[in-house]
Amino acid sequence: MKLTHKFRIAVDLPTYAERKEAMDKLYRWRNRCYRAANLIVSHLYVQEMLKEFFYLTEGVQYKLADEKKDEAGMLTRSRINTTYRVLSDRFKGEMPMNILSCLNNALISSFRKESDAYCKGERSIKNFKKTMAFPFGLEGIGGFCYNEEKRTFYFRLFSIPFRIYLGRGRAEKTKLLQQVLSGEIKMCSSHIKINEGKVFWLPVFEIKKEEHTLKPEFIAEASMSFEYPLIVKIGRARYTIGTQEEFLYRRLAIQASLERVRIGAQYCRSDKGTRRKLKATEKLKKAESNYVNNRLHVYSKRLIDLCVEHKAGTLILVDQQEKMEVAKAEEFVLRNWSYYNLITKIKYKADKAGIELIM
């Protein structure tokens, strides 16, 4: 299975001028990717919807194929190469073409999956933001190594040297990257995300599923309730994971603090305008998001650990439809109980442990 990890990285150059030049290059690449992504989906949408232009004359051909391979084709090259050529003509020389190639392939793949919804008018085409992460292939990474003296990993991204901050969970991250160096784990494509001046590396690793002695006939039943985030039944054993006081009340306390800070923001000193006034507000917004994500990871991991402990090879989430309907009807529940986020985390952890999940 494939999993994405997040590492904070920093430009490893000696002088401030060199580091600034490297960061400016990253910002320029991100800007070109933002423009290129919007161009790609616009061209793909026009190509897909061309046959819907019924007001064109009968003599107009609209088969999206290379005219050299198909007599009815209206393109001068393959369909994949059309968008790549547009990007090459506009951005060649401004950034590595490997980035544009990865971006082009990824967007074409996602567009094909969603093309039916576009044709039916059920959704609009994607609109990319200037802060988007940009992809690159393995060809862009070089010199990946570990420095024993400094206990740090290093690599080059298209000749820009970086060092990796391991931070929290250092032992686990070190083990993972050492396995990449030894060839035990395969690294696939990656993304670079720039957020508030910090650079993050998001590599995708292809790892083997965990091997546990599980029995499919042993069934664990899990349900979500308003009193407890999760209630688990495995045979005669019954467990509760988390409590309402631990999760919901703490989250409401953070929201109340946020509301108080918003009210008091108008009286804050406006040293640098709005940014200075809303500094505490932004901090509390991140605190709520971080707290919720942390709790949901803890709950979902505890659920999977219980299944592994009891050798349950099948996990059933019961009464989900009823809970979803209640959550949709009650705005308070939908806003604060985070059902969908918890289910997402349970899904990928169950897949990783080799447990069959039934909704």
Q: Which of 211, 184, 79, 191 is nearest to 135 (CA)?
A: 191
Domain boundary assignment for the chain: 2-15+134-206, 16-120, 215-358
pLDDT in tens, 174-203: 888 888 888 888 888 888 999 888 889 998
Distance CA 299, CA 231 (A): 10
Amino acid at site 62: Y
Q: Is the pLDDT of residue 328 over 60?
A: no
The stretch 235-259 carries a mean pLDDT of 79
In this predicted structure, what is the pLDDT of residue 45? 84
Q: Tell me the chain's radius of gyration from C-alpha atoms.
A: 25
Q: How far apart are the first and last CA of the chain?
A: 21
235's tokens: 């045979």
Using the Cα atoms of residue 65, residue 87, residue 133 and residue 13 in order, give the sign of their dihedral.
Answer: positive
The better pLDDT of the pair 149, 1 is held by 149
Q: Name the CA dihedral angle for 19, 193, 95, 88, rounded to a multiple of 10 degrees.
A: -170
pLDDT in tens, 306-323: 888 888 888 888 766 665
Q: Whole-number mean pLDDT of the chain? A: 79
Q: Which of 80, 145, 85 is nearest to 109 (CA)?
A: 80
Distance CA 172, CA 153 (A): 14
The better pLDDT of the pair 55, 183 is held by 183
Lowest mean pLDDT among 23-27, 117-121, 294-298: 117-121
In this predicted structure, what is the pLDDT of residue 334? 46
222's tokens: 């899990």
The better pLDDT of the pair 243, 18 is held by 18
CATH code, residues 215-358: 3.30.420
Distance CA 43, CA 334 (A): 37
In this predicted structure, what is the pLDDT of residue 3? 82
